[in-house]
Amino acid sequence: MIRDITEKRGQTDRPKKGYIWVGVSILLLAMMFYFYYVYPSRGFGPKQPIYFSHRVHAGVKEISCRFCHPYVDRSRNAGIPAVEKCLYCHRYIVSQHPQILRVKWHYETKTPIPWIRIAYVADHVQFNHQRHITRGVDCTVCHGNVKKMDRLMPIEFKMGFCIECHKREKAPVDCWLACHN
């Protein structure tokens, strides 16, 4: 009798252990899925109309920021490169890449690529690249390490960020900065 009961117990215990292992496997799979697919794209910028990677261009290929954003040290705006500039290289480099074919379509139909802007200050704030670049402020201070990013992250500059450095560097912190908040 006693033997009989223990045997039965053993049998009913086994499937329970099975459930635990199934549970653990599902959990592990879910974690793998999260870290491989979800996590890497978290905190990254919006999907752009053409897959353009700063990591590839400015990072791996070490193309100068100024080649594509040439006005950065002489004007208010850095400038976004026109389609022609992409083709300056891509007429020859990976010219049949599906994304480059799309770039060519924009060129041929004279439609500018509708890039989504990711860096902005509030309307009433004045900002001028030239003043900062000529004082030797590096791009990364404000834009982060762009060379490591495939898709740029959106940044909304807060007053505190600007003012903090202005105070530290003894740059003007007059009305236009102090009045608005």
Distances (CA, A) of 138 to 2, 126, 179: 80, 19, 27
Give the type of residue at 54: H
Burial class of 133 by CB neighbour count within 10 A (0 to 12, 13 to 18, 19+): middle
Q: Does 126 bind ligand HEC (CB under 6 A)?
A: yes
Task: Compute and round to an integer the Cα radius of gyration of the chain.
Answer: 27
Residue 101 sits in the site that holds ligand HEC (CB under 6 A): no
Q: How far is the CB of 118 from ligand HEC (least distance, A)?
A: 4
Which one of 25, 41, 77, 111 is in contact with ligand HEC (CB under 6 A)? 77
- Near ligand HEC by CB under 6 A, which window of 12-20, 21-29, 34-42, 70-78? 70-78
* Side chain identity at residue 163, one-letter code: I
Instruction: Identify whether the C-beta of residue 49 lies closer than 8 Å to the C-beta of residue 114.
Output: yes
CB closer to ligand HEC out of 17 and 168? 168
Token reading at 36: 């491989």
Does 105 help bind ligand HEC (rule: CB under 6 A)?
no
Q: Is the distance from CB of 81 to CB of 69 less than 8 angstroms? A: yes
Tokens 């080649």 correspond to: 67
- Where on the chain is the footprint of ligand HEC (CB under 6 A)? 48, 50-54, 56-58, 61, 63, 65, 67-69, 72, 77-81, 85-86, 88-90, 93-94, 97, 99-100, 103, 115, 117-121, 125-129, 131-133, 135, 137, 139, 141-143, 146-147, 152, 157, 161-162, 165-166, 169, 171-172
